Amino acid sequence: MTKIHFWQGNEACAEAAITAGCKFFAGYPITPASEIAEHLALRLPQEEGIAIQMEDELASLGAVIGASWAGAKAMTATSGPGFSLMQENIGYAFMTETPCVIVNVQRVGPSTGQATKCAQGDVMQTRWGTHGDYASIVLSPNSVQEMFDLTIKAFNLAEKYRTPVILLADEIVAHMREPINVPPSNKIEIVNRKKPKPTDKAFFGSEEIPPMPSVGQGFNVAVTGSTHNEYGIRYTADPTVHRRLVERLMGKIRKKASKIIDFEDCNIKNCEAGVISYGCTSRAVYETVDLAKKKGINLGFLRLKTLWPFPDNAVQTMAKNAKIVFVPEMNLRQIFYEVERAVSGMVPVVPINKIGGGEMITPEELLAKVVKGVKSVD
Amino acid sequence: MRDLPLPFCTGCGDLTIMNCFLRAVHELGYKDLNRFVFCSGIGCAAWIPSPHFKADSIHTAHGRSIPVATGVKLVRPELNVVVFGGDGDLAGIGLSHLIHAARRNLDIVVVMANNMIYGMTGGQVAPTTPIKIKTTTTPYGNVERPFDTTRLVVAAGASYAARWTTFHIEQLKESMKKAITTKGFAFIEAVSQCPTAFGRRVGLKTAPDMLQWFKGNSVTLQEAEKMAEKDLEGKIVVGEFVHREFPTVTETLYEIMKEAKKGAQKN
């Protein structure tokens, strides 16, 4: 596979899963994510993997969780409506520390919305979708190359932190075709879960990220989504056991946030105005920077590759230098509020939003808002 | 078994089901449960294997034990994957997974403890509650007909299906042995007493009262065939409903894998 390919985003995601070592896929058809299931149905058996179409998205993520406990790296792919159905098992995977990858190729919601059109409306759902306290790891690709690179990264983070990881793509990056470079396999970092020693008995909390056995290895592992101690035994009334468990589960991600967070930045330390964007929307920002320069505006940008954990520090660096920060999104303000929280009143934060019909925010539209905004603070 | 206190109420049928299963496994010659993986959802019956069996067990979200079992079985086909659940878990919230697993002929065993009520949550009506029965959510009596889950699973394509009550312990145990050794999807419905949340409200306050009711109210499949439909109303039809062999989804997928690999190498 090493070479330059001209792939569709969904195809790049599926091939990346195989490269990352994925041996199990379960999914349910949904636009605009179905090509991932179709490609893996063809390719996984060739790589001694299993691909199965389940009866719904509840079952899809359920099967992925079972496969992960059976020792396989496992993935599912869906879009908003299916992602809503997966919320119960996302919480379960978090609570049971089951590594798995969930791809959400966003389309216009709420509900059935506009099935074939692009949107970025599921950002907050990836952070707060399931019930209870939890921390999520969410990656946001903005190109076919990143559909490949960040899918591998999603598997690596899932295995490393023993947690579900969400690849939050969108219809545009999933359906467009671009040349992509697949590096030789010895240049690709692949992370595998920490396995237990034969004498290990605690798989849920003896250490921050405990080792993970597979079923059928004689460990007699007890897995449960109820509050449990380090041996997997349920303690459903004990406040201390619950606090210790959930604080560790959140802590193992929060404390490592600086290691997980990934972004692309340009000129954030000395720009007069800044743009914070992610996913397909960020593709318009590169040209906007050039257009702004011609108008005499020194525009910097921050492009989020990880949405969660949120890169407060990078946002604050920009806000300390820029006079104004713009947040373009294909939703009606989601990351905007998170930026506002991080900026904490240092400078004005301006939302730029567009929804419906899958139309991107163009560089010209972005420029017009930037020019107007910069004038307002001069 | 793990050295943990059991959670079941006095007289609970789940203890009988647990006992029958462990005896079945023992009589089949297994010295331990190392080759077994147990999946169970939410509800009293989910506690039969988890965390009490000294074995790998996955206690899943409500109704999702069969999907999780699907993932386990497809990746590790050599292991015996057994699902335990109640009627609410398997015939209520998780029903579609039960039907689809039977349709796929997924090579697992599903044991459904049917106590005809949501016991853990305090006695609400279930999709298996007999008509006219008063429950906490049907104070005027249940207005809906109950599912015949075993026949449903047979129609969906199960390889093995049997129904007994916790009165029929010998037959239940023998059917469990057949379910474990049958290739393909095997389903056992164990009609089970819940004196706490069901019996107490219908005048059958103790386990013996309920077992007497099961005894008097059960008819075998052979007897049932000769009876008129109206005489069968309210009866529990017990017996082995089906025992047949089809290719399983697991073996077919692994055959495809071999062929696909060869094809890929040629190309």
DSSP-derived secondary structure for B200-220: GGTT--SHHHHHHHHHHHEEE
Contacts of A50 (CB under 8 A, 6+ apart): A23, A24, A25, A44, A67, A72, B74, B75, B253, B257
What the block records as the tokens of B187 is 């389903």
- Residues of chain B neighbouring A48 (CB-CB closer than 8 A): 257, 261
CA distance A72 to A67: 6
Q: Distance (Å) from the C-alpha of residue A46 to the closest C-alpha of chain B? A: 4
**Final residue belonging to a domain, choices A134, A163, A187:** A187
Identity of the residue in B51, B74, B79 whose CB atom sits nearest the CB atom of A222: B51
pLDDT at residue A292 in the model = 98
Cβ atoms < 10 Å from Cβ of B17: 25
Q: Please give the mean pLDDT across all residues of chain B.
A: 97
CA distance A204 to A111: 36
pLDDT at residue B267 in the model = 66
A58-95 pLDDT per residue, tens: 999 999 999 999 999 999 999 999 999 999 999 999 99
Sign, CA dihedral A302-A305-A307-A311, equals: negative
Give yes or no: residues A62 and A174 share one domain.
Answer: yes
What the block records as the tokens of A21 is 């070592």
Cβ within 8 Å, pair A59-B51:
no
- Residues of chain B neighbouring A226 (CB-CB closer than 8 A): 59
Identity of the residue in A58, A67, A224 whose CB atom sits nearest the CB atom of B75: A67
Among residues A127, A166, A170, A128, which one has the least CA distance to residue A331?
Answer: A170
pLDDT at residue B15 in the model = 97
Contacts of A368 (CB under 8 A, 6+ apart): none
Q: Chain B contact for A186, CB < 8 A?
A: no
Among residues A212, A210, A229, A208, which one has the least CA distance to residue A221?
Answer: A212
**Final residue belonging to a domain, choices A136, A166, A187:** A187
Tell me how many domains chain A contains: 2
Q: What is the CATH number of the domain that holds A327?
A: 3.40.50.920
In a domain, A213, yes or no: no
B67-124 pLDDT per residue, tens: 999 999 999 999 999 999 999 999 999 999 999 999 999 999 999 999 999 999 999 9
Supply the pTM of this predicted model.
0.98
Residue B265 scores a pLDDT above 90: no
Q: Distance (Å) from the C-alpha of residue A257 to the closest C-alpha of chain B? A: 28
Q: Chain B contact for A60, CB < 8 A?
A: yes
Q: Chain B contact for A23, CB < 8 A?
A: yes
- Residues of chain A neighbouring B257 (CB-CB closer than 8 A): 45, 48-50
pLDDT (mean) for A227-246 = 97
Looking at residue B91, what DSSP letter applies?
A: I
pLDDT (mean) for A195-211 = 96
pLDDT at residue A239 in the model = 97
Identity of the residue in A72, A220, A224 whose CB atom sits nearest the CB atom of B56: A220
Among residues A55, A69, A118, A120, which one has the least CA distance to residue A97?
Answer: A69
Sole residue written with tokens 């593709």: A283
Q: Distance (Å) from the C-alpha of residue A62 to the closest C-alpha of chain B? A: 5
Residue B266 scores a pLDDT above 80: no
Instruction: Give A378's pLDDT tier (boundaries 50, 70, 90).
Output: confident
Break chain B into its structural domains and give their ranges.
13-266
In a domain, A335, yes or no: yes
Beta bridge partners of A294: none
Q: Distance (Å) from the C-alpha of residue A149 to the closest C-alpha of chain B? A: 24
Q: Distance (Å) from the C-alpha of residue A351 to the closest C-alpha of chain B? A: 39
Among A42, A50, A92, A101, the residue to mutate for chain B (most B Cβ within 10 A): A50
Would you identify the CATH topology of the domain B13-266? Rossmann fold (3.40.50)
Q: Give the helix/strand (H/E) hosting A253.
A: helix A239-254
- The sheet that has B186-191: what strands, in order across it? A222-224, B56-59, B36-40, B80-86, B109-114, B186-191, B160-165, B236-243, B218-220
Asked if A228 and A113 count as a contact pair (C-beta separation under 8 A), the reply is no
Q: What is the CATH number of the domain that holds A99?
A: 3.40.50.970
pLDDT (mean) for B5-14 = 96
Asked if B62 and B36 count as a contact pair (C-beta separation under 8 A), the reply is no
Between B9 and B263, whose confidence is greater? B9
Give yes or no: residues A24 and A146 share one domain.
Answer: yes
pLDDT at residue B264 in the model = 82
pLDDT (mean) for A170-192 = 97
In a domain, A252, yes or no: no
- Residues of chain A neighbouring B78 (CB-CB closer than 8 A): 216
Give yes or no: residues A271 and A183 share one domain.
Answer: no
pLDDT (mean) for A30-58 = 98
**Final residue belonging to a domain, choices A187, A210, A229:** A187
What the block records as the tokens of A366 is 């972005």
- Residues of chain A neighbouring B70 (CB-CB closer than 8 A): 26, 52, 54, 59, 62-63, 66
Residue B178 scores a pLDDT above 90: yes
- Write the ipTM: 0.97
Range of the domain at A299: 262-377
Identity of the residue in A58, A71, A232 whose CB atom sits nearest the CB atom of B75: A71
In a domain, A77, yes or no: yes
Give yes or no: residues A275 and A183 share one domain.
Answer: no
What the block records as the tokens of B166 is 């916790």
Residue A290 scores a pLDDT above 90: yes
Among B52, B56, B78, B100, the residue to mutate for chain A (most A Cβ within 10 A): B56
Cβ within 8 Å, pair B75-A223:
no
Burial of B176 (0-12, 13-18, 19+ CB in 10 A): buried
The SS3 of residue A81 is helix
Cβ within 8 Å, pair B261-A68:
no
In a domain, A337, yes or no: yes
How far is the CA of B40 from the CAs of B67, B82, B131, in angstroms? Answer: 10, 8, 28
Give yes or no: residues A182 and A267 share one domain.
Answer: no
Give yes or no: residues A106 and A10 share one domain.
Answer: yes
